Amino acid sequence: MLLKKIYEEYKQDVFKYLVSLTHDTSLSEDLVSETFLGALKSLHKFKGESSIKTWLFSIARNKWYEYLRKEKYNISIDDLAYNYILSESDLDDVLIKRELYNKIINLLKSEPPRTEDIILMRIKGYSYFEIGKKHDISESSARVIDYRTKKKIKEILVKEGIVYE
């Protein structure tokens, strides 16, 4: 009964998060099912150290990684830099070089704390509305900060020859 309630409350959020990663609604629908099956199998391991939504997004991200590994997809560095900064082990799972990961993290840490937090919140799947509410800024401002920071990091990576457009 508990998982049914969780499913009803978070299925749309998980779906939207997966669409933002995959850009494929059909695949995202499949991954939503796999995410909640994974959640059912690991519900006993959930200790409440993060929100249920964050926990589900983590499972969803891992299900997407599994799909990519199985299908041997190549992911653009831009997508990886934007979506996968959050977890070093996740990045290793999709074969991102440690050097690139460290560079992206260092670039993000060089940003003002509010900007860094906004980007990390976005990566975790928070909406611009939620980010704006936390930081007492408009939804539009959260979007602009996210966009400019992503663009800045990518430009630095391209300039240094770490990433190619």
pLDDT at residue number 43: 81
Domain boundaries 1-73, corresponding CATH code? 1.10.1740.10
CA distances from 117 to 18, 86, 126, 156 (A): 21, 11, 11, 20
pLDDT at residue number 97: 52
Rounded to whole angstroms, the Cα distance separating 114 from 149 reads 12
Start and end residues for every CATH 1.10.1740.10 domain found in the chain: 1-73
Rounded to whole angstroms, the Cα distance separating 146 from 38 reads 30
pTM for the model stands at 0.46
- Chunked mean pLDDT (size 10), the chain, 165 residues: 83 89 85 91 80 87 80 53 45 49 82 90 78 94 92 84 64
What is the number of other CB atoms lying within 10 angstroms of the CB of residue 65? Answer: 17
pLDDT at residue number 19: 85
Quick one: CA dihedral 57, 111, 146, 116, positive or negative? positive
pLDDT at residue number 4: 84
pLDDT at residue number 94: 41
